[in-house]
């Protein structure tokens, strides 16, 4: 046991919950802060069932700095904060930009403010490949230019990275790591935790699993006339457990003090692009289920293709994605089946 205490904001959410499991299994003590705006309290019990170890949980809104201060007062010696808590629906952010700027930016500002006051020296931030837009050159390295993202959601990620970087400059000894996730998919092999979209899913894999489970009639593939081998969009789909492990690697880097700079950025992907049709075929192969799908119009705002060059994370974090796409799609289906009580 290394015993260091890690604050995990958004720790009952999709990526947060998987990361809490990996942190606990690596011997860290975890304190979760989440307001349950997009997750359920019983995730804490499910994490405990997987690890045999109950994380501390505070139901608190990070935009409430007084409530967050109480956590810092009670939880002495936090080593690092992994900051997942944010709103993440791209389309909703276009309709309600202020809601996104208010929640995502105020949460971060409160967290950094209190980290400074309570001498917490490290943060790991959930960023996104959305900050690259449609890059001219693929695969995407950390040197690929960041552009102004199309959505307010994406823009909160770009601005947050800058805020953290500027905070590290102003506070000597403070370390920030931004992890730019590509497309996280799949669920824990226990099928006790996974993605829980509310309402109709916007993202591809939850829509696929819900269609296979009979909750949706048909998957619409948004565009088959892109300039890609099969005409459908290409993404870099990363297994959520692999992704969670990258957070443990980032914390280890902070523990070991091996940072090259006070602010660092890593791409987290597999390095492999997969098309929408690859996902559909891969799902059918992995699960033996036939999927009802049809080709449809392009979705506004979609980039044609993006995938990571993941070699910097491999070199510096000693981390790489290990699970296969089929294994990952199978895990998503196992989770959906358990949710819906399907045999």
Note the residues at the interface with ligand WQD (CB under 6 A). 88, 90, 128, 130, 154, 183, 202-204, 207, 219-222, 233, 235, 276, 299, 302
When binding is defined by CB under 6 A, the residue of 4, 6, 14, 224 that contacts ligand NAD is 14
What value does the CA radius of gyration of the chain take, rounded to a whole number of Å?
19
In angstroms, the first-to-last Cα distance of the chain is 38
Q: Determine if 242 is a binding residue for ligand NAD (CB under 6 A).
A: no
Window 112 to 171, contacts with ligand NAD (CB under 6 A): 126, 128
Judged by beta carbon, residue 113 or residue 326, the one nearer ligand WQD is 326
Q: Determine if 254 is a binding residue for ligand NAD (CB under 6 A).
A: no
Least distance between ligand WQD and beta carbon 299 (Å):
5
Catalytic residues: 153
Which of these segments, 35-43, 114-122, 282-290, 333-341, binds ligand NAD (CB under 6 A)? Answer: 35-43
235: partner contacted, choices ligand WQD, ligand NAD, none (Cβ within 5-8 A by kind): ligand WQD
Least distance between ligand WQD and beta carbon 86 (Å):
9
163: partner contacted, choices ligand NAD, ligand WQD, none (Cβ within 5-8 A by kind): none
90: partner contacted, choices ligand WQD, ligand NAD, none (Cβ within 5-8 A by kind): ligand WQD
Token pair 């709103």: residue: 87
Q: Determine if 36 is a binding residue for ligand NAD (CB under 6 A).
A: yes
Token pair belonging to 134: 């449609």
Number of residues forming the site for ligand NAD (CB under 6 A)? 27
When binding is defined by CB under 6 A, the residue of 6, 23, 32, 35 that contacts ligand NAD is 35
Contact pattern for ligand NAD over residues 186 through 215, marking x by CB under 6 A: ------------------------------
Q: Determine if 58 is a binding residue for ligand NAD (CB under 6 A).
A: no
Least distance between ligand NAD and beta carbon 288 (Å):
26
- Per residue, the 3-state secondary structure of the chain, as one string, reads CCCCEEEEECCCCHHHHHHHHHHHHCCCEEEEEECCCCCCCCHHHHHHHHHCCCCEEEECCCCCHHHHHHHHHHCCCEEEEEECCCCCCHHHHHHCHHHHHHHHHHHHHHHHHHHHHCCCCEEEEEEEHHHHCCCCCCCECCCCCCCCCCCHHHHHHHHHHHHHHHHHHHCCCCEEEEEEECEEECCCCCCCCCCCCCCCCCCHHHHHHHHHCCCCCCEEEECCCCCCCCCCCEECEEEHHHHHHHHHHHHHHHHHCCCCCCEEEEEECCCCCEEHHHHHHHHHHHHCCCCCEEEECCCCCCCCECCECCHHHHHHHCCCCCCCHHHHHHHHHHHHHHHHCCC
Phi, psi of 79 (to 5 degrees): -85, -45
299: partner contacted, choices ligand WQD, ligand NAD, none (Cβ within 5-8 A by kind): ligand WQD
Q: Determine if 110 is a binding residue for ligand NAD (CB under 6 A).
A: no
Phi, psi of 6 (to 5 degrees): -120, 125
The dihedral sign for the CA sequence 104, 107, 112, 115: negative
When binding is defined by CB under 6 A, the residue of 24, 93, 107, 287 that contacts ligand NAD is 107
- With CB atoms as reference, the residue minimizing the distance to ligand NAD is 13
Least distance between ligand WQD and beta carbon 206 (Å):
8
Residues engaged in binding ligand NAD (CB under 6 A): 10, 12-16, 34-39, 61-63, 84-88, 103, 107, 126, 128, 181, 183-184
């Amino acid at each position: 046991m290394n015993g260091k205490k890690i604050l995990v904001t958004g720790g009952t959410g999709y990526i947060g919950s998987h990361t809490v499991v990996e942190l606990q299994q690596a011997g860290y003590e975890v304190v979760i802060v989440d307001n349950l705006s997009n997750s359920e309290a019983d995730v804490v019990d499910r994490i405990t069932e997987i690890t045999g170890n109950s994380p501390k949980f505070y139901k608190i809104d990070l935009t409430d700095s007084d409530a967050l201060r109480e956590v810092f007062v009670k939880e002495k010696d936090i080593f690092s904060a992994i900051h997942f808590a944010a709103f993440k629906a791209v389309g909703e952010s276009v309709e309600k930009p202020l809601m996104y700027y208010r929640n995502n930016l105020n949460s971060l500002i409160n967290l950094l403010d209190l980290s400074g006051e309570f001498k917490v020296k490290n943060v790991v931030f959930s960023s996104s490949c959305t900050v690259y837009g449609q890059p001219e050159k693929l695969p995407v390295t950390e040197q690929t230019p960041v552009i102004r993202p199309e959505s307010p959601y994406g823009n909160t990620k770009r601005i947050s990275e800058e805020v953290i970087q500027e905070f590290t400059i102003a506070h000597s000894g403070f370390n920030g790591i931004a992890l730019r996730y590509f497309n996280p998919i799949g669920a824990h092999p226990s099928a006790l935790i996974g993605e829980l979209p509310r309402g109709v899913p916007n993202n591809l894999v939850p829509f696929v699993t819900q269609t296979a489970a009979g909750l949706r009639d048909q998957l619409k593939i948004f565009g088959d006339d892109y300039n890609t081998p099969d005409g459908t969009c290409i993404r870099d789909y990363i297994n959520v457990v692999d992704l969670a492990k990258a957070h443990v690697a980032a914390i280890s880097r902070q523990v070991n003090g091996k940072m090259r700079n006070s602010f660092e950025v890593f791409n987290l992907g597999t390095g492999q692009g997969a098309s929408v049709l690859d996902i559909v075929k891969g799902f059918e192969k992995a699960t033996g289920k036939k999927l009802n799908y049809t080709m449809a119009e392009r979705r506004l705002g979609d980039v044609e293709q993006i995938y990571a060059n993941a070699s910097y994370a491999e070199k510096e974090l000693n981390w790489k994605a290990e699970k296969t796409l089929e294994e990952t799609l199978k895990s998503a289906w196992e989770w959906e089946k358990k949710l819906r009580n399907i045999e």
